[in-house]
Amino acid sequence: MLKTSTTNVVPEKKVEAKNKTKFRLTANDKYYASIFAGPSLFLLGLFTFYPMFRTLYISMFLTNTFGNTTLFVGLENYVKLVTSPDFVSSMWVTLVYVVGVTFFTIAMGLLLANLASQKLPGIAIFRTLYSVTMGVSVSVAAIFWLFIFNPSAGFFTLLTKLLHLPTVNWLSNPTMAMWAIIITTVWMHLGFVFLVFLGAIESVPTTLYEAADVEGVSKHYQFFHITLPMISPTLFFISTITIIGSFKSFGLIDLITKGGPTNATNMLVYRIYNDAFFGGNYAKSSAEAIILTIIIAFFTYLQFKFLEKKVNY
Amino acid sequence: MSTLITNVCKQYDNNQGKTVLSNVSAEIETGEFFVIVGPSGCGKSTLLRMIAGLTEITDGEIAIDGKVVNNLPPKDRNLTMVFQSYALFPFLSVWDNVAFGLKARKHDQAEVSERVNNALKMVNLEDLKDRKPRELSGGQRQRVALARAVASDAKICLMDEPLSNLDAQLRIKMRQEIYALQRKLGITLIYVTHDQVEAMTMADHIMVLHDSKVQQIGTPTEIYKNPANEFVASFFGVPPINIMYASKVGAHSIKVNNDYQLDLDQAVTENELKVGIRPNEMIVEKAEELQSNATVQNVEFLGDEKIVHAKFNNGVMVSAIVPSDTEFDMFETVKITSTGNVLLFSQDGINITENKGGLVNA
């Protein structure tokens, strides 16, 4: 069967290439294409596309407590959301969080990767230590950081006491709670980001640095004018997935602040979850989910539009 | 700016202190084309990197222009380097690649563009100055690397196998360009290669490295006509020189390969020795089986000449260059002798040919 298919297809391709007409699939090709693509299309359809379109559908209705649609309201859910100060504040909080997490994750990841790429004895220990957070689960990290932030016995409190500084109420002060969540998320992301950056930095050919050394270029200049441009594709990749990932952050928020205090860390995803499964307002949370998707898509689009050309050399 | 290398040694700490270079000494004169040549792994690149300051010197001394530079960082040695991989920045245009070092050292704008433009003109790349390295051919990339060396204005240029990534045709062309450039700029060029043809064609002086030791330093003619030892003799020349055992049969004659007798102009001092005969000094004649001493194994046609690879009856392989109009077939029986223009080596490979000037260079 396979044999006949190839003998059928090959001469046809050649003829078509000569005539510069469009490449067309034969019935045989379609058969094989469906065998290869079918299972993944089925799974994606069932678990990704169907829920996506279902969410879009629900977002334009009112729902009862079982999540069944009752009354078509068009875009009313959306209008309500964007005019509600609560939701707008959630958007801002999310934005602050995303910017903070992305900036600090990339800055710290780069710093650590650059340090760990030095050829020094025992550097492997640091490489392992820096990447170890990759193996820590969200719940473990949350418990661990809750202990550190604990206002009476936490590490930070002990530290401030030791230095005779005023104690910081990490989780009850709105600003500090945001910092606490950012710090924890950065810490969680750092292991992976560090490893990817380290790989990218290590793969920059050493002759580039040697050529720069011979020409008398300082190490500082080398980092910004050789290392950074050389790893810019990785930088782009990491910033994209960090932005998307932090928009979708849920676990740490749920386990550390639960969106509080006074909605100071009530990110979009956490709000969606609360509105649906505690508020029982499935229509509202579906609309929120769609808005979040649009925001993420918009940011990703911006990144690709303005950065992608610059990072591909 | 002469470069003086005195008893330089290199050992790596790991690898049980393996010696990479031992007691290497040389004097490289200002403005000369100095080629360091040797088989791979002989330490030639290490030596170059030690001159550049990219690799530490274990022992000995390197002085540039009378100043010991052992502990100077590369940038203070006033030299430039062209790498085998060219070390071009893929994200910068040709122009910016050449300007990179100058900009980093904060030369003023006008001077940078003047020097870069001049350098690009020198290597005929003005038209391509806005291209990225990936849009250039191998030879053009090579020329960007050269332009960078030219623009830096350093008086010593180091090149680490710069042509080994190019195809054969381009290599010959770039060889001539590099040579012309060196002559035009009058810079000292220290050039590392494993290709003996590159060494022979470009060098003012050649240093032959092998087994981490200097085998010989000399002009291409000296190295070819009067090699210090068996290794140097066999490293230069295509096809390589035929080295065979020989024994003394008279005051002025030897028996080569226990086969044919050869009368020499010089006195033979040792009973057992080795003889080195260049392929163009071999004489191959057709012979009946009873008179023959060898069998043709393979014939390579090169245009003007042919290379005959033959096997002596005792199994020793030799190659000979014969005019291309002579016909030899595979497995044909032949009689092989040679002219008296040969090199004599002691048993352990030291050149013991007498009257070196007269006989060898005749």
Q: Which residues of chain A have a CB within 8 Å of the CB of B79?
A: 214
| pLDDT at B295 exceeding the cut of 90 | yes
CB B39 within 8 A of CB B194: yes
CA dihedral sign, ordered A77, A80, A81, A87:
negative
**Looking at the domain assignment, is residue A294 inside a domain?**
yes
Among B234, B254, B277, give the residue marking a domain's end: B234
Range of the domain at B308: 240-361
DSSP 8-state symbol, B310: E
B170 and B224 share one domain:
yes
- Model confidence band, residue B17 (pLDDT cutoffs 50, 70, 90): low
B230 and B324 share one domain:
no
A50 and A117 share one domain:
no
Q: Is B134 on the interface with A (CB under 8 A)?
A: yes
The domain that contains A202 carries what CATH number?
Answer: 1.10.3720.10
User: Residue B274 burial (CB < 10 Å; 0-12/13-18/19+)?
Assistant: buried
What is the arithmetic mean of pLDDT over A172-186?
88
What is the arithmetic mean of pLDDT over B337-341?
88
Cβ <8 Å between B100 and A215: yes
A26 and A83 share one domain:
no
**Per residue in A67-101, pLDDT tens?**
787 888 888 888 888 888 888 888 898 999 999 99
Q: Is A121 on the interface with B (CB under 8 A)?
A: no
Q: Which residues of chain B have a CB within 8 Å of the CB of A207?
A: 83-85, 87
**What pLDDT shows up at residue B218?**
92
- In A84-137, where does DSSP find H-type helix? 85-116, 123-131
**Looking at the domain assignment, is residue A70 inside a domain?**
no
**Looking at the domain assignment, is residue A67 inside a domain?**
no
Q: Is A217 on the interface with B (CB under 8 A)?
A: yes
Which of A211, A217, A218 is closest, CB to CB, to B87? A211
Between B285 and A310, residue with greater pLDDT: B285
Q: Which residue of B has its CA nearest to A229?
A: B91
Q: Which residues of chain A have a CB within 8 Å of the CB of B53?
A: 213-214
A43 and A118 share one domain:
no
Q: What is the ipTM of this complex?
A: 0.81
Between A110 and B267, residue with greater pLDDT: A110
The domain that contains B305 carries what CATH number?
Answer: 2.40.50.140
**What pLDDT shows up at residue A12?**
44
**What pLDDT shows up at residue B280?**
92
B217 and B319 share one domain:
no
B86 and B145 share one domain:
yes
B156 and B292 share one domain:
no
**Per residue in A210-230, pLDDT tens?**
999 888 888 889 999 999 999
**How many whole angstroms separate alpha carbon B310 and alpha carbon B330?**
9
**Looking at the domain assignment, is residue A234 inside a domain?**
yes
A97 and A188 share one domain:
yes
The strand pairing partners of A165, in sequence order, are: none
- The sheet carrying B67-68 orders its strands as B19-28, B3-11, B59-64, B67-68
**What pLDDT shows up at residue A5?**
41
| pLDDT at A17 exceeding the cut of 50 | no
Q: What backbone phi and psi angles, to 5 degrees, belong to A116?
A: -75, -10
A146 and A267 share one domain:
yes
**What pLDDT shows up at residue A10?**
43
Query: Looking at CA atoms only, how far is residue B122 from chain A in angstroms?
Result: 20
Q: What's the whole-number average pLDDT of chain A?
A: 84
The answer to whether the bond into A174 is cis (omega within 30° of 0) is no
CA dihedral sign, ordered B275, B276, B280, B281:
negative
**Looking at the domain assignment, is residue A71 inside a domain?**
no
CB B220 within 8 A of CB B200: yes
Q: Is A210 on the interface with B (CB under 8 A)?
A: yes
**What pLDDT shows up at residue A306?**
80
The strand pairing partners of B63, in sequence order, are: B4, B68
Range of the domain at A275: 78-311
What is the arithmetic mean of pLDDT over B59-73?
87
A36 and A91 share one domain:
no
A233 and A180 share one domain:
yes
B82 and B178 share one domain:
yes
Q: Based on the structure, what is the number of domains in chain B?
A: 2
Q: Which of residues 289-308 of B touch A (CB under 8 A)?
A: none
B244 and B230 share one domain:
no
DSSP 8-state symbol, B236: S
DSSP run (H or E) holding B108? none
**What pLDDT shows up at residue A84?**
87
- Total residues found in chain B within this entry: 362
**Per residue in A122-167, pLDDT tens?**
888 888 888 888 888 888 888 888 888 887 778 888 888 888 887 7
B230 and B245 share one domain:
no
B210 and B297 share one domain:
no
Q: Which residue of B has its CA nearest to A206?
A: B87
Q: Based on the structure, what is the number of domains in chain A?
A: 2
**What pLDDT shows up at residue B355?**
56
